[in-house]
Amino acid sequence: MKRYAAVAAIAAMLPILLVASHASAQEKLKVVASFSILADLVKNVGGDRTVVASLVGPNGNAHIYAPSPADAKKVAEADVVFINGLGFEGWIERLVKASATKAPIIVATNGIKPRERAGGNNGHAHDHGRSDPHVWQSVANAKTMVGNIREALIAVDPAGKDVYRSNAAAYLTKLDALQREVADVIARIPADRRRVITSHDAFGYFADAYGVTFTAPQGVSTDAEASAKDIAAIIRQIRQQRISGVFLENVTDPRLVKQIASETGARVGGTLYSDALTDEHGDAPTYIDLIRHNLKQLASALTG
């Protein structure tokens, strides 16, 4: 009897609960981010006040992404859209135009001094743009992006000001700790061992911030193929410098790096996450997980 009463009471409340959750879902700010890493930064600041969708999903390659009609719909319905900029999303301008969205388009990397795409070892003349877009590989840059995201969310949704400020402050504290952790772990690797081969040149900001040298047969974009000459130069370099860290990436074809490893006898040290998170079952479902995973892989390959 008692049990029946309880069930009846819950049943009576159900319509109210449904109405309440429907209303709050409608009030949530609809946010679109261009790729998964940026979406995670936005989620950490937006919290419960926002619903965040990522255009390029986990393990997706933003360099060569082809937006779908569903993406145009997401952008059309968004209250605010965050992009990386620096030429990372070559497809975004057309998508925004096609969607006819009225949402502000926020460049999350504003205020970050970009590295020049010098071309490094290969200098592909046909690479588009002049800046290296992979700024998030330095935690200091991610902190700048979080500040930009906070200000943009406050501008679009001033009523959420206190929430966005406190979410951002809590997340920035975690990023401060992460930044110290990366610097500490890399500092313990002997300087002459800090040499790494990856498939595309996505770790320049990590290299500059923490003192590791990365070499890649593909340039900062993945749309250009590495030439036979570039590959031969890297193979020579691995042999001369006895580079022990050869890594795959989650967004690029692994065959090239595997070929280089087998020709030089270098061991493949694992996978580094460059331009995308993994899904929730992978090693890097969040930005903090991504940096920690890469750090662990580097430390074990370069000191082992």
Least distance to Zn ion from the beta carbon of 235, Å?
A: 22
Residues 45-74 that bind Zn ion (CB under 5 A): none
242: left (phi over 0), alpha (psi -120 to 50) or beta: left
**In the bound complex, what is the minimum distance in angstroms from residue 251's beta carbon to Zn ion?**
7
Q: Which is nearer to Zn ion, 196 or 202 (CB)?
A: 202
Distance from C-alpha of 290 to C-alpha of 288, rounded to nearest angstrom: 5
Judged by CB under 5 A, the stretch of 180-188, 229-237, 268-276, 278-286 that binds Zn ion is 268-276
C-alpha–C-alpha distance, residues 298 and 304, integer Å = 10
Member of 89, 127, 249, 275 binding Zn ion (CB under 5 A) = 275
Per-residue contact track with Zn ion, 205 to 244, x per CB under 5 A?
Answer: ----------------------------------------
Nearer to Zn ion, 101 or 297 (CB): 297
Cα–Cα distance between 11 and 5 in angstroms, integer? 10
Q: Which two tokens stand for residue 15?
A: 């319509």
Residues 6+ apart with CB under 8 A from 157: 29, 49, 79, 164
Alpha-carbon distances of 100 from 28, 30, 76, 165, rounded to whole Å: 21, 16, 6, 30
The count of residues interacting with Zn ion (CB under 5 A) is: 2
272 forms part of the interface with Zn ion (CB under 5 A): no
Smallest distance from the beta carbon of 166 to Zn ion, in angstroms? 33
Question: In sequence order, what are the beta bridge partners of 195?
Answer: 213
Q: Of the ranges 32-40, 174-182, 194-202, 231-239, which one interacts with Zn ion (CB under 5 A)?
A: 194-202
Nearest Cα to Cα of residue 186 among 292, 108, 265, 283: 292
What's the DSSP call for residue 296? H
Selected range binding Zn ion among 105-113, 256-264, 271-279, 292-300, rule: CB under 5 A: 271-279
Binds Zn ion (CB under 5 A): choice among 39, 106, 202, 256? 202
User: Which CB, 99 or 294, lies closer to Zn ion?
Assistant: 294
Q: Contact residues for Zn ion (CB under 5 A)? A: 202, 275
